[in-house]
Homo-oligomer: A and B are copies of this chain.
Amino acid sequence: MLKDFTPPKEEDKSNLKAEIKALREKLLAQQQLVRSSALPVIVLVEGWAAAGKGSLINELISEIDPRFYNVTSPAIVPQSEERYPFLYPYAKAIPENGKIMFYDSGWMDGAVYKFLRREITKKQYKEIIRSVNEFERQLRDGGYLVLKLFLHIDSKEQKERLAALRDNHETEWRVTENDLWQHQEYNLFRDTYEEFMEETGKLLPWHILDGTRRRQSSRDALRLLTDAIDEGLEKGRYVGKPFKEEFDLLTMPKLSEIDLSPVIEEKEYKKELDRLQARLGELHNTIYRKKIPVILCYEGWDAAGKGGNIRRVARPLDPRGFDVIPIASPEPHELNRQYLWRFWTRLPRSGHICIFDRTWYGRVMVERLEGFCKEDDWKRAFNEINEFERQLTDWGAVVLKFWIQIDQDTQLARFTDRQNTPEKQWKLTEEDWRNREKWPQYEEAINEMLQKTSTENAPWFIIESNDKKYARIKTLKIIIKALEKACEGRL
């Protein structure tokens, strides 16, 4: 690919100029169609330092409406300062429907630098490559157009360009230590880029452009982009097919098999609660110091006791180090992006605890049952969610998922109590009653969810909550055990 790259022949200038003009006009015309078809487009511009990535992007955008695109240049943050998973800055920047996002360097550069600077191990690098493949597939399956470009120049050309930039007072600041080091290690970078492109080019191909011939590469990039948009507009938004599971799944019982009789005595409850909360408070210190991210996920029936359970967990925590994130229906800007986006952007920093009160599992419950997404979408989601959670645990996060379980009689009793107690009435909505009527459909969906998404790294725990106190104690114990395990052997 790069080693044996043969630069294309020089073309006739006036022809090129006319071609570029025509392609720009085409892109300009496409933009309203992209907008009206709500097609999101990602253009990843990777390449060598000083290859002209910025200029290339400038050529692509020069005629189009600035309200229609955006450019992001995610900085390469040293591992030591990074408080989020590898994909976080890239996932955060995905465009909304109907817009183009240009990435001025992206996940390839980020991964390669981290690896070559030895901030991550070979194993971590492999995990990152896997996560990149997952991320790209999820975007494609979610209807995104993803165009991947690599702007190539050889070592001699790079040397001259870096020197020219450094000779000019106005541009010398543009040459970073990273750039100089890349040039020094040109062959190492070339082989690593090449390998990265091979390993991530199967689903969505890479396009290598010649950075020495600016006009030709602009024309090529414009053509690739307009062709991709043409194809996207013609076929309509892609909806990925569900695909085969590849995860080792834990065996989970069906909800109907759960014994909901366990209770705890009041005295025992108080004693245990005090003891466990004190222990959790201590552990929070250690978590914070060791910079372990913790993600606690709560799902459960209406009136199952999620709120009270969360409150007992939150109480001993240092308020500076945790957040409770209530998940309601998505807002317009969230609906306009891939469904995991609103969770990516809410992840805790390392060392923090994040408690999700409802989660991304809405995709396979309410969104499935209410028809808010297509059948293929929720069927695909089981695996996509497993991938997402593996990305979180690869990063080092503790991910625990609680299904707060009650039976229908208990729910009815609690609904009735809420209805009859003025200060609790706000907790009960018409929707709760409607959802209750769909109990069997929900139960089926939940059973499928538990079967398909309980993994060693991010397991589901069923919390029997007919007795809320019993449920709280059980949850606290699970959290403490998992955190103790995570703290062992980490610096």
Contact = CB atoms under 8 A, between A and B. Distances in A.
B67 A307 contact: yes
Nearest to A105: B320
A13 B126 CA distance: 60
Contact of A71 (B102, B171, B320, B355): B320
Interface string A239-278: 0000000000000000000000000000000000000000
Contact of A326 (B67, B170, B333): B67
B36 A73 contact: no
A319 B357 contact: no
Contacts of A314: 66
A426 B31 CA distance: 11
A58 interface: yes
B66 A355 contact: yes
Interface stretch (A181-189, A282-290, A377-385, A436-444): A282-290
Q: Say whether chain A's binding surface is mostly helix, strand, loop, or mixed.
A: helix
A198 to B, nearest CB: 28
A280 interface: no
B67 A319 contact: no
Contacts of A326: 67
A62 B319 contact: no
A62 B311 CA distance: 8
Given A320-B54, A331-B333, A311 B170 contact: no
Given A104-B319, A355-B66, A32 B423 contact: yes
Contacts of A347: none
Contact of A311 (B54, B66, B285, B288): B66
A486 to B, nearest CB: 16
A18 interface: no
Interface string A24-38: 000001001001100
A365 interface: no
B324 A66 contact: yes
A289 B170 contact: yes
Interface string A329-350: 0011100000000000000000
Interface string A11-47: 0000000000000000001001001100000000000
Given A36-B426, A319-B102, A67 B357 contact: yes
Contacts of A102: 319
A49 interface: no
A315 interface: yes
A371 B129 CA distance: 53
A423 B66 contact: no
B319 A65 contact: no
A270 to B, nearest CB: 15
Given A311-B66, A333-B331, A54 B319 contact: yes
Contacts of A282: 170
In the A-B complex, the 5 residue pairs with the smallest Cβ-Cβ separation, listed nearest first, are A66-B324, A71-B319, A67-B326, A73-B320, A57-B319
20 contacts: A32-B426, A36-B426, A54-B320, A58-B318, A58-B319, A63-B311, A65-B307, A65-B311, A66-B307, A66-B310, A66-B311, A67-B307, A67-B324, A71-B320, A104-B319, A170-B282, A170-B286, A171-B285, A173-B289, A331-B333
Given A54-B320, A67-B324, A71-B320, 12 more contacts: A54-B319, A61-B319, A63-B311, A65-B307, A66-B311, A66-B355, A66-B357, A70-B323, A73-B320, A170-B285, A170-B289, A331-B331
